[in-house]
């Protein structure tokens, strides 16, 4: 258990929407003071944020992602593996750091509501060019993050929604292999028992077509998605995506690819058993699925997660990201035990 007297700021958005993965979530740590000039700057920052400077190594992970944002006393910062600088002027905190996609710049206002927090400006820069980030990004203190998380976390069987998509998580399992969705008899393909398709074998055998390499694990997902829009939705248009948090590990769920052990960027629905409006499952033979308006689809899919769990049976969190009618992404959190 981490002491509550050290208030660490963490990223959250309620609802948490984003298009740029660099700002999904992060956490804050304050370095030790080694210089009088730097001490004054850190004094100002810690004073604005309402935290003590001795809150050094009591790190707490954020709501949706395990990447860390660390403020150093020499005005440098790290965000996961990325490096950059921070600057405080009045109540405006500016962050600038390099990523694989270029140099990003974003400003945060220090706000004082029920609890001290940081709120990101919607407008920032990517490689010097002005850009707009969708949604709201806020840092909350460690004092309230557990209550915030508890209030929004869903469990298996519960539904979440945007204004165009309703989503229900039916099942989620981590495993190193998963049973093929089909069997072949006399040259004909048939869907296997949908209760076992695309799930790890339970000791009763089954053709484990899907297998993860070391350092990775499979996410076997069963969910129902309903199109509540007036037009057809295409799963190829990134209308949903997933990531997994477990035991301080975090990774996106990527599409299974026989030629790439890390998977491809988007989930593929090829080989996925799909049932339309409560009907029988049939195996999908394309990488995508068109979702008719006012129709529901139960989908079973396997993806690759880029870490190896210490224990497959440990609880984990599944972050579900759904598009809305403004082409923004809203995030929802499920706990799977």
> Would you say residue 297 has pLDDT above 80?
yes
More confident: 273 or 139 = 273
Q: Which of 234-243, 255-264, 299-308 has the lowest mean pLDDT?
A: 255-264
18-32, 252-266, 319-333, range with greatest mean pLDDT: 319-333
Half-sphere exposure of 222 (CA within 13 A, CB side): 20
Q: Which of 48-52, 274-278, 287-291 has the lowest mean pLDDT?
A: 48-52
pLDDT score of 261: 86
pLDDT score of 111: 66
pLDDT tier for residue 143 given thresholds of 50, 70 and 90: low
Q: Which of 71, 298, 82, 119 is nearest to 191 (CA)?
A: 298
pLDDT score of 49: 62
CATH classification for the domain delimited by 159-336, as one of 3.40.1350, 1.10.40, 3.30.450, 2.60.40: 2.60.40
Give the span between the Cα atoms of 247 and 257, in whole angstroms: 26
> Would you say residue 48 has pLDDT above 80?
no
pLDDT score of 305: 94
Q: How many CB atoms lie within 10 A of CB 151?
A: 8
Of all residues in the chain, what percent carry a pLDDT higher than 90? 37
More confident: 157 or 106 = 157
pLDDT score of 28: 33
Q: How many CB atoms lie within 10 A of CB 239?
A: 22
More confident: 155 or 257 = 155
76-80, 188-192, 274-278, range with greatest mean pLDDT: 274-278
Q: What separation in angstroms does the CA of 94 have from each of 12, 46, 75, 122, 150?
A: 18, 15, 11, 13, 30
Largest CA distance in the chain: 80
pLDDT score of 103: 92
> Would you say residue 332 has pLDDT above 80?
yes
Average pLDDT of the chain to the nearest whole number: 77
pLDDT score of 177: 92
pLDDT score of 13: 35
pLDDT tier for residue 3 given thresholds of 50, 70 and 90: very low
**pTM: predicted TM-score of the whole model, two decimal places:** 0.73
Average pLDDT over residues 71-77: 82
pLDDT score of 257: 87
More confident: 13 or 134 = 134
Residue-wise pLDDT for 92-138, tens only, equals: 889 898 987 789 898 988 765 554 566 778 899 989 999 887 656 66
**With 0-12 CB in 10 A as exposed, 13-18 as middle and 19+ as buried, what is 196?**
middle
Q: What residue spans define the domains of the chain?
A: 9-152, 159-336
pLDDT score of 30: 27
> Would you say residue 17 has pLDDT above 60?
no
CB 245 within 8 A of CB 316: yes
Q: How many CB atoms lie within 10 A of CB 37?
A: 9
Residue-wise pLDDT for 159-171, tens only, equals: 999 999 999 999 9
DSSP, residue by residue, 57-119:
S-----SS----EEE-TTSEEEETTEEEEEEEETTEEEEEEEETTEEEEEEEEEEESSSEEEE
């Amino acid at each position: 258990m981490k002491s509550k007297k050290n208030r660490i700021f963490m990223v959250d958005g309620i609802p948490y929407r984003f298009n740029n993965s660099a700002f999904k979530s992060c956490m804050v740590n304050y370095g030790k003071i080694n210089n009088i000039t730097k001490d004054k700057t850190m004094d100002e920052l810690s004073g604005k944020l309402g935290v003590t400077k001795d809150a050094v190594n009591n790190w707490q992970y954020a709501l949706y992602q395990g990447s860390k944002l660390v403020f150093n006393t020499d005005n440098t910062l790290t965000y996961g593996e990325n490096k950059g600088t921070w600057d405080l002027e009045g109540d405006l905190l500016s962050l600038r750091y390099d990523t694989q996609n270029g140099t990003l710049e974003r400003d945060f206002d220090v706000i004082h509501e029920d609890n001290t927090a940081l709120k990101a400006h919607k407008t920032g820069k990517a490689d010097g060019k002005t850009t707009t980030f969708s949604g709201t990004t806020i840092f909350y203190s460690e004092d309230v993050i557990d209550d915030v998380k508890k209030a929004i976390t869903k469990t298996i069987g519960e539904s979440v929604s945007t204004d165009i998509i309703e989503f229900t998580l039916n099942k989620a399992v981590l495993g190193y292999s998963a049973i093929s969705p089909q069997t072949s008899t006399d040259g004909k393909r048939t869907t296997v028992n949908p209760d076992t398709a695309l799930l790890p074998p339970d000791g009763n055998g089954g053709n484990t077509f899907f297998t993860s390499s070391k350092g990775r694990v499979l996410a076997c997902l069963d969910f129902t998605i309903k199109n509540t829009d007036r037009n057809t939705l295409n799963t190829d248009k990134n209308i949903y995506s997933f990531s997994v948090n477990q035991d301080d590990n975090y990774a996106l769920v990527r599409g299974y690819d026989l030629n790439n052990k890390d998977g491809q960027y988007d989930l593929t629905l090829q080989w996925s058993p799909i049932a339309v409006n409560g009907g029988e499952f049939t195996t999908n033979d394309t990488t995508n699925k068109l979702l008719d308006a006012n129709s529901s689809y139960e989908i079973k899919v396997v993806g690759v997660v880029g870490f190896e769990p210490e224990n497959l049976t440990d609880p984990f969190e599944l972050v579900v990201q759904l598009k809305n009618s403004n082409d923004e992404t809203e995030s929802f959190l499920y706990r799977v035990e």
